[in-house]
Amino acid sequence: MSLYAWLMLGSIIGPFALSFDKKVAFYKWFKPLIIGIFINAFSFPLLSF
């Protein structure tokens, strides 16, 4: 894997692994996050014309 791929993988896995810490607790916000990602993913191609 290239250095760029390792950096991208680390930037996703690092915060994801830390999100299950009791002090951080990002895992409680996954449902609104997924909904927001899907809204943006579907609206971006429509608005990019």
Residue 7 domain boundaries: 3-47
pLDDT score at 17: 82
Say how far apart CA 4 and CA 8 lie, in whole Å. 6
Say how far apart CA 37 and CA 31 lie, in whole Å. 10
> How many distinct structural domains can be found in the chain?
1
Whether 48 and 42 have beta carbons less than 8 Å apart is answered as no
Mean pLDDT by 10 residues, the chain (49 residues): 88 82 70 84 75
pTM of the model: 0.41
Say how far apart CA 23 and CA 19 lie, in whole Å. 9
